[in-house]
């Protein structure tokens, strides 16, 4: 009896437990279906992830898979802030599982969360636009991620070999971080990869041939790095639709294998080192909408097939060695901008270029057309600055202006992008005209500017893009000069003419007023550009913030300039380097705050004339008034202006 009892008792307890356990399981499953429950392990993993990221606003009293405000925040318009967790609740085990984490634009200061590996159903991790540091954790090697987007952070070090273990990856974006070293060959194991974005890091070394095996790639972006050696071979990337290789360090020429990329609709290659090459074979890329081959050392003529790439919207062939006449591209009716700047085109400027009634910008500056004089009645948005040898040889054939000089100047001061400003005894002239994609401003007698290019990938293009305004808090005597600045997406020239020949000091005033100095992704921008003075490269890969030691800090770069033909020219050029996505997509390119030019040991003939010069500088006469060297005319001009 006793024995029976002792035998049946554990059995009873066991049955009882079994019933309770079954009931609990049923109730949990029901709850999961109604309340979309996560397994405990995933909830705990989220807690660890929050800690590792430095994310403090998830409310763990709530169910992450419910649409609570802390777990899924409605998209704010015009904001870079994204915040949502998505779950898959239609799984066989009856639980919900975390499928994606979008935690973007939140300036989180932590690290890439190792505990991500505990979310075994996770497919998407999007941590763009935070302030995360550190490296890619080894734990991630065991995930089944399809999308890894960790752009615009402070991540550093080498890309680990174990990234090749995440063979499920379809999109990998590492843009605008501090990753360095050579790319691991193991990236070649990511056979499902369709998108690879390595823009604006510090990758070095040669391109691993193993990556040529990524045959599903549709999008490849590797701009602004320091690779060495030849451009990759394009042979097995037949699915590529978008290629961006600007300022990446690679040597030309563009390989013939590029001809197989018949699905391309966007090709942007710039700033190749290495020898000269022919125009690449792009004949069969009839879907091409955006073509940039800038500073690629391409010589010869523009081939005829360009004229039948009928979907082209943007064509940038600037700063090559293209020669001959320009092919007739009139049939490219979808064009929105065309830059043929900085080549060696000759012959007459074709009539189809000057007479079109379309509005789009055409930039022909810096060429060698045989034109004797400016074409008459040419269209708006056509920039002919230094595009032909002026017949009457004003300014030594540079065709800066058709006007002869009324007098010689000994100084020039410009407040770039801003209004007239007086600092001490020096008046900085206003420079407020709107710039543009192909714009030549030359109404002043003694100086002007030429602006080429538009900002790629901006959502919202406006003429204000070419100026930076006073978000800045610069202190000190010259501060008003730094409140505004000119920006350029490609090339910006200031020229001075009518100068007395001799030696001058040229001062370029800079201050980084776009990036901020805070613990935010907005402080992570890197602006890098080149400066040419009198056609010579004087500042290469110039970075205002790093030279000045911070943002909002005035920086003056001084140069000795010898003037021999009465002219001085300063040109700012974007050479594909630096970030392009901070603070927002399409932010990059040269910035200049002010320009000063002062003669050294060179004095105007008489003080009287100086005061006259001053008066005229202040008058801001438009070219509608013919100015002679008679001071009365200048006064007359002032009066005319008042009357308006
Ligand atoms: C979301 O969580 C917050 C904080 O606990 C709470 O105040 C709010 O009522 C919840 N909203 C929804 C829709 O459940
Ligand atoms: C989460 O954010 C992503 C990216 O913005 C978006 O595509 C998705 O629709 C969002 N999901 C929810 C549930 O809001
Ligand atoms: C949810 O998970 C199940 C099982 O893993 C899968 O079949 C289904 O496609 C998933 N649903 C979504 C929307 O991804
Ligand atoms: C990556 O995969 C290899 C081979 O499958 C394995 O030996 C290695 O441990 C993995 N690396 C990591 C960091 O998990
Ligand atoms: C990469 O950067 C780290 C600092 O983040 C540095 O210690 C390391 O030497 C760099 N490696 C290379 C190859 O430049
Ligand atoms: C590239 O793929 C081919 C098969 O498609 C394979 O034979 C070859 O070994 C791979 N090359 C590299 C470098 O991984
Ligand atoms: C373009 O396609 C045609 C027909 O498919 C082919 O014969 C030709 O070689 C291709 N041209 C180039 C430059 O690849
Ligand atoms: C400005 O000009 C005045 C009068 O000509 C002169 O007294 C003064 O020293 C000058 N100041 C500077 C900073 O050059
Ligand atoms: C575009 O920019 C203008 C000013 O530059 C601004 O007023 C407008 O709100 C912007 N539109 C969008 C959709 O961002
Ligand atoms: C720019 O400066 C002007 C005049 O100094 C001031 O009125 C304006 O508020 C400033 N704008 C910003 C954005 O700081
Ligand atoms: C200008 O400077 C050059 C050297 O930079 C010097 O050789 C020349 O004599 C100077 N000319 C004058 C007029 O001072
Ligand atoms: C300009 O030339 C002067 C002497 O003529 C010299 O002292 C000075 O260092 C030079 N400045 C620059 C920026 O080269």
All CATH 2.60.120.430 domain ranges in the chain, comma separated: 407-599
For 512-529, how does the pLDDT look when each residue is reduced to its tens digit (9 = 90+)? 999 988 999 999 999 999
| Residue located nearest, by CA, to atom 3 of ligand 7 | 284
Cα–Cα distance, 27 to 463 (Å, whole number): 62
Which residues share a beta bridge with 293? Answer: 269
Q: Ligand 1 centroid to 68 CA: how many Å?
A: 6
For ligand 3, what atom is nearest to the CA of residue 99?
14
Helix and strand totals (H; E) in the chain: 7, 36
pLDDT at position 221 over 70: yes
Residue located nearest, by CA, to atom 13 of ligand 9: 460
Q: Which residue has the tokens 């987007």?
A: 149
Question: Ligand 3 — pocket residues by CB below 6 A?
Answer: 88, 90-91
Look up residue 556 and give its two tokens: 């003056």
Closest atom, ligand 11, to C-alpha of 503: 1
Q: Is 470 in the pocket of ligand 10 (CB under 6 A)?
A: yes
Q: Is the CB of 124 under 6 A from ligand 2?
A: no
Q: What is the pLDDT of residue 192?
A: 98
DSSP string of 4-51, one letter each residue: HHHHHHHHHHHHHHHHHHHHHHHHHHHHHHHH-PPPHHHHHHHHHHHH
Rounded distance between C-alpha atoms, residue 196 and residue 237, angstroms: 12
Mean pLDDT within 348-366: 85
Cβ-based neighbours of 249, under 8 Å, separated by 6 or more: 204, 225, 226, 227, 228, 273
Give the closest residue to 131 by CA, choosing from 521, 551, 489, 476. 521
CATH annotation of 407-599: 2.60.120.430
CA dihedral 315, 316, 322, 327 (to 10 degrees): 20
**Ligand 5 interacting residues, C-beta cut-off 6 A:** 156-157, 180-181
Residues 567-579, mean pLDDT to the nearest whole number: 97
> Token match 């020898």: residue?
275
Taking only the tens place, the pLDDT of each residue in 116-146 is: 999 999 999 999 999 999 999 999 999 999 9
- Closest residue by CA, ligand 7 atom 4: 284
Q: Which atom of ligand 6 is nearest to the CA of 210?
A: 13
Is 84 a pocket residue for ligand 2 (Cβ < 6 Å)?
Answer: yes
At 68, the pLDDT band (50, 70, 90 cuts) reads confident
Q: Which one is predicted more confidently, 18 or 41?
A: 41
Q: Which residues are registered as beta bridge partners of 290? A: 266, 314
Report pLDDT for 412.
97
Dist. CA 445–CA 447, nearest whole Å: 6
Mean pLDDT of the chain: 87
- Scanning the structure block, which residue is given the tokens 């040889």? 393
Q: Does the CB atom of residue 479 touch ligand 10 within 6 A?
A: no
Could you tell which of 255, 260, 283 is best to mutate to test the pocket of ligand 7, judged by most ligand atoms within 8 Å of the CB?
A: 283
pLDDT confidence tier of residue 66, bands split at 50, 70 and 90: confident
**pTM, rounded to two decimals:** 0.87
Say whether pLDDT at 27 is over 60: no
Query: Do 152 and 130 touch, CB atoms closer than 8 A?
Result: yes
The residue that leads in pLDDT, 74 or 533, is: 533
Predicted local distance difference test score (pLDDT) of residue 350? 87
Residue the block writes with tokens 């609990």: 24
pLDDT of residue 31: 44
Which whole number is the average pLDDT over 311-322? Answer: 97
What residue's CA is closest to ligand 7, atom 8?
284
The pLDDT of 547-572, averaged and rounded, is 95
- Separation between Cα atoms, residue 400 and residue 447, nearest integer Å: 9
Per-residue pLDDT band for 16 (boundaries 50, 70, 90) equals low
Average pLDDT over residues 347-354: 86
Structure confidence by residue, pLDDT tens digits, 476-490: 777 899 999 999 999
Helix (H) or strand (E) segment spanning residue 503: strand 502-510
| Mutual angle of helices 631-643 and 607-619, in 10-degree steps | 20
Q: Atom 5 of ligand 7 has which residue's CA nearest to it?
A: 284
Distance, CA of 560 to CA of 572 (rounded, Å): 17
DSSP 249-299: --B-PPPGGGGG-TT-SEEEEE--BSS-BPPP--TT-TT--EEEEESS-BE
Cis omega (within 30 of 0) for bond into 164: no
């Amino acid at each position: 009896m006793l024995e029976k009892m002792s035998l049946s008792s554990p059995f009873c307890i066991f049955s009882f437990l079994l019933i309770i356990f079954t009931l609990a399981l049923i109730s949990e499953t029901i709850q999961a279906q109604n309340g979309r429950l996560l397994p405990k392990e995933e909830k705990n993993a989220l807690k660890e992830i929050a800690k590792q990221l430095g994310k403090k606003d998830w409310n763990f009293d709530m169910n992450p898979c419910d649409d609570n405000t802390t777990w899924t925040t409605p998209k704010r318009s015009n904001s870079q802030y994204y915040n949502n967790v998505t779950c898959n609740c239609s799984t066989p085990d009856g639980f919900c599982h975390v499928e994606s984490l979008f935690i973007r634009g939140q300036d989180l200061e932590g690290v890439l969360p190792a505990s991500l590996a505990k979310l075994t159903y996770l497919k998407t991790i999007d941590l763009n636009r935070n302030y995360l540091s550190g490296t890619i954790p080894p734990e991630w090697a065991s995930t089944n991620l399809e999308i890894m987007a960790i752009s615009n952070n402070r991540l550093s070090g080498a890309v680990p070999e174990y990234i090749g273990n995440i063979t499920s990856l379809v999109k990998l974006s590492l843009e605008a971080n501090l990753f360095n070293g050579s790319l691991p060959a193991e990236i070649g194991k990511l056979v499902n990869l369709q998108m690879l974005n390595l823009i604006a890091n510090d990758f070095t070394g040669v391109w691993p041939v193993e990556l040529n095996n990524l045959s599903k790639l549709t999008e490849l972006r590797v701009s602004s790095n320091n690779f060495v050696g030849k451009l990759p071979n394009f042979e097995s990337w037949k699915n590529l639709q978008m290629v961006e290789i600007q300022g990446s360090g690679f040597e030309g020429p563009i390989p013939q294998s590029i001809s197989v990329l018949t699905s391309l609709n966007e090709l942007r290659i710039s700033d190749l080192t290495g020898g000269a090459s022919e125009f690449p074979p792009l004949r069969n890329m009839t879907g091409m909408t955006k073509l940039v081959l800038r500073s690629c050392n391409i010589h010869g003529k523009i081939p005829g097939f360009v004229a039948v790439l009928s979907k082209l919207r943007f064509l940038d062939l600037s700063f090559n060695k293209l020669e001959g006449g320009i092919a007739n591209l009139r049939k490219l009716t979808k064009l929105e901008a065309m830059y043929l700047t900085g080549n060696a085109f000759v012959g007459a400027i074709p009539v189809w270029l000057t007479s079109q009634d379309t509005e789009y910008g055409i930039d022909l500056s810096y060429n060698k057309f045989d034109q004797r004089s400016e074409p008459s009645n040419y269209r708006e948005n056509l920039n002919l600055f230094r595009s032909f040898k002026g017949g009457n040889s004003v300014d030594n054939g540079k065709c800066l202006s058709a006007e002869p000089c009324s007098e010689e100047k000994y100084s020039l001061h410009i407040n770039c992008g801003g209004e007239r400003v007086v600092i001490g005894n020096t008046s900085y002239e206003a420079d407020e005209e709107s710039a543009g994609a192909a714009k030549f401003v030359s109404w002043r007698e003694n100086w002007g500017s030429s602006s080429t290019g538009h900002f790629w990938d901006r959502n919202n293009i406006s003429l204000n893009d070419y100026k930076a305004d006073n978000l800045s808090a610069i202190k000190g005597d010259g501060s008003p000069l730094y409140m505004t600045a000119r920006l350029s997406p490609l090339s910006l020239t200031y020229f001075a003419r009518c100068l007395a020949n001799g030696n001058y000091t040229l001062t370029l005033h800079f201050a980084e007023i776009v990036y901020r100095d805070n613990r935010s992704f907005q402080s992570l921008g890197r602006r890098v550009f080149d400066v040419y003075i009198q056609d010579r490269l004087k500042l290469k890969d110039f970075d205002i913030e790093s030279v000045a030691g911070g943002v909002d800090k005035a920086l003056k770069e001084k140069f000795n300039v010898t003037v021999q033909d009465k002219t001085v020219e300063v040109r700012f050029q974007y050479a594909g380097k630096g970030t392009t996505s901070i603070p927002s997509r399409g932010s990059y390119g040269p910035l200049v705050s002010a320009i000063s030019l002062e003669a050294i040991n060179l004095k105007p003939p008489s003080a009287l004339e100086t005061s006259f010069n001053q008066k005229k500088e202040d008058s801001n006469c438009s070219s509608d008034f013919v100015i002679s060297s008679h001071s009365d005319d200048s006064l007359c001009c002032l009066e005319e202006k008042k009357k308006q």
